[in-house]
């Protein structure tokens, strides 16, 4: 290899590695890769393997039963939030709702997740991209997938299907951020 | 750039990008980067941002109180486990133990994580690398860090400080895998 070209090659290699890392750590969120031209939302693949945990809620259902709500975010989402106090345009949140099992363990009565019931998906949209699609509004795209057909989006209107449960979180951008410690510190 | 060198440069760039991806997705687990020659274990940095969720336990303490135990694994750990039925040598597990808050939400009484109390760290060791260090044995390195000094490892003997709580999980490699759905499906 000529001495003149070696620095170029080295630079290219480092540049590529750098981009691979920063595309995850920076604010670049590509949630719109999951959306077609009409605003239909696909569920992202391999969320458990690729996304990061925001946090877990356990919910004691009325009259009885328990759920675990595990919320994942696209890579880099929490870093951006800590820096800017909000989610980046294109951020994807996935809330997986599971049943639970429980039993006595060495530290007390322990509860853990069992089977998945549904997934809620939200995609941050700062530009009101789909004003005529009833699954987009209030700064987000909203979607619902059920375990019996995990790739079929079944919500029809976010105001009817989604917003009711999110109303108490309106002042924090419709997201229950108090249960997500990573948004405050890494 | 000469035509002869261009393919070399392109190959180098792709090779670098490829390695960056496969080092996370494959079985290559570099937990021993956290260990010095004597077997002392450091807590990995930025676990919430970089590691993947294995699962969450909530524990009702006796006589009262509640904890949330959130276990993270080094990237690629779950993929390897699903394929091989065990954790790869060098896999890092971090169990963060947090207090909880709770309150009424739209779906029921909800519980969520508050402040961190301690972190347990385990590093898979298939080669019995530190036979004279009392924090290594039974196929793992064992470590404990407390919130008031988060970088100071404070366990002294894994048999005394760690194994008691893990005994019920002996048949599953000392890990409470039943609460970690990602080990069964992605």
A50-84 residue pLDDT tens: 999 999 999 999 888 999 999 999 999 999 999 99
Residue B64: which residues within 8 A CB-CB, separation 6 or more?
none
CB atoms within 10 A of CB B84: 10
**Inter-residue contact B141 to B35 (CB < 8 Å):** yes
CA separation (Å) from A75 to A22, A37, A90, B180, B185? 10, 24, 11, 20, 20
Question: pTM of the prediction?
Answer: 0.86
For B144, the token pair is: 């404990």
pLDDT digit string, tens, across residues B101-127: 999 988 889 999 999 999 999 999 999
How far apart CA A57 and CA A41 sit, in angstroms, is: 24
- Asked if B105 reaches chain A (Cβ–Cβ under 8 Å), the answer is yes
- Quote the mean pLDDT of chain B: 89
How far apart CA B31 and CA A181 sit, in angstroms, is: 25
- Cα A69 to its chain centre, rounded Å, is 12
Query: Collapsing DSSP states into helix, strand and coil, what is residue A5?
Result: coil
Closest CA to A68 of A95, A46, A94, A44: A95
| pLDDT at res. B186 | 87
pLDDT value at B11 more than 70: no
- Quote the mean pLDDT of chain A: 89
Residue of B nearest to A44 (CA): B186
pLDDT value at A18 more than 50: no
Residue of B nearest to A11 (CA): B13
**Inter-residue contact A95 to B107 (CB < 8 Å):** no
How far apart CA B23 and CA B25 sit, in angstroms, is: 6
Interface of A with B in 118-147 (CB under 8 A): none
How far is it between the farthest Cα atoms of chain A?
A: 75
pLDDT grade for A106, boundaries at 50, 70 and 90: confident
Mean pLDDT for B6-17 is 49
How far apart CA A150 and CA B149 sit, in angstroms, is: 44
Q: Distance, in angstroms, between B151 CA and closest chain A CA?
A: 14
Looking at the partner chain, which of A21, A108, A165 has a beta carbon nearest the beta carbon of B62? A108
- Asked if A113 reaches chain B (Cβ–Cβ under 8 Å), the answer is yes
Closest CA to B181 of A114, A94, A150, A51: A114
Residue of A nearest to B169 (CA): A105
- Asked if A149 reaches chain B (Cβ–Cβ under 8 Å), the answer is no
Looking at the partner chain, which of A56, A167, A182 has a beta carbon nearest the beta carbon of B68? A56
Mean pLDDT for A116-142 is 98
Angle between helices A6-25 and B6-25 (to 10 degrees): 30
pLDDT digit string, tens, across residues B41-73: 999 999 999 999 999 999 999 888 999 999 999
- Of residues A61 and A119, more confidence is placed in A119
pLDDT value at A13 more than 50: no
How far apart CA A57 and CA A80 sit, in angstroms, is: 22
How far apart CA B143 and CA A94 sit, in angstroms, is: 32
DSSP symbol at A9: H
| pLDDT at res. A1 | 47
- Asked if B3 reaches chain A (Cβ–Cβ under 8 Å), the answer is no
Q: What are phi and psi of A26, to 5 degrees?
A: -80, -170
CA separation (Å) from B154 to A155, B95, B119, B151, B159? 50, 15, 11, 9, 14
CB atoms within 10 A of CB B168: 13
pLDDT over 70 percentage in chain A: 85
Q: Distance, in angstroms, between A171 CA and closest chain B CA?
A: 15
pLDDT grade for B9, boundaries at 50, 70 and 90: low
Mean pLDDT for A126-144 is 98
Contact A113 B55 (CB under 8 A): yes
- Asked if B97 reaches chain A (Cβ–Cβ under 8 Å), the answer is no
């Amino acid at each position: 290899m000529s001495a003149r070209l070696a620095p170029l090659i080295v630079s290219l290699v480092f540049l590529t590695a750098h981009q691979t890392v920063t595309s995850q750590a920076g604010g670049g969120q590509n949630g719109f890769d999951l959306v077609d031209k009409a605003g239909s939302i696909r569920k992202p693949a391999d969320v458990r393997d690729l996304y990061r945990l925001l946090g877990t809620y356990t919910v004691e259902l009325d009259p009885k039963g328990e759920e675990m709500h595990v919320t994942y975010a696209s890579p880099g989402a929490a870093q951006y939030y800590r820096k800017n106090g909000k989610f980046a345009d294109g951020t994807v949140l996935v809330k997986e709702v599971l049943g639970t099992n429980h039993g006595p363990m060495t530290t007390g009565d322990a509860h853990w997740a069992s089977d998945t019931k549904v997934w809620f998906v939200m995609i941050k949209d700062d530009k009101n991209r789909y004003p005529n699609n009833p699954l987009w509004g209030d700064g987000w795209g909203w979607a619902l997938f059920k375990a019996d057909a995990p790739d079929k989006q079944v919500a029809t209107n976010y105001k009817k299907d989604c917003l009711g449960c999110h109303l108490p979180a309106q002042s924090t951008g419709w997201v229950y951020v108090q249960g997500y410690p990573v948004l405050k510190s890494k």
